[in-house]
Amino acid sequence: MRVNRRAFIKGAAVAGAVGFAATPASLHAEGMMNNWLCVVVDTVDQLNSDLRSASDTVIVKDEARGGIFIYDENKATVNDGGLIFNGWVRQFYGALNVSWFGAKGDGITDDTEAIQKPIDLLRDQV
């Protein structure tokens, strides 16, 4: 049975886990792994329009800023530093996480800008 990519990702996210079959090492290139469902990358810095030719869904593995992203060509020039990166729109349900915007929470780094950014985004939407 072939499953629609978006339906699978949405269902997996609701279940709280996303799992993929192992991919042979020969398919790994430059920190990316293609499979029949999506592309997997290491960081949000790798989200660019070149990935669009491989898939419309990307999983970013970065522990703090990672997540599931779906490409929206109408937002190709938008980069807000947390929710949209060059047209790749974060898929989430619930509260915004300031770590998506770069907050470290380590008591050393000044996280003021990373905390203010999602507040401003929400204010602009109201």
Burial state string for 79-94 with b = 16 or more CB within 10 A and e = fewer than 16: ebbbbbbbbbbbbeee
Integer Cα distance of 112 and 80 in angstroms: 16
Assigned token pair, 120: 């401003």
Question: pLDDT tens-digit profile of 51-72?
Answer: 877 778 999 999 999 999 999 9
Integer Cα distance of 12 and 28 in angstroms: 23
What does the domain layout of the chain look like in residue ranges?
5-93, 95-126
Find the mean pLDDT for residues 14-43.
52
Question: pLDDT tens-digit profile of 96-105?
Answer: 899 999 999 9
**Residue 64, helix vs strand vs coil:** coil
- Residue from 64, 122, 61, 124 nearest 97 by CA: 64
**Residue 48, helix vs strand vs coil:** coil
Strand bridging mode 39-41 / 57-60: parallel
Question: pLDDT tens-digit profile of 71-82?
Answer: 998 998 999 999
Q: Where are the alpha helices (DSSP H) in 1-126?
A: 5-15, 112-125
**Residue 39, helix vs strand vs coil:** strand
Q: What is the residue-averaged pLDDT of the chain?
A: 77
Identity of residue 42: D
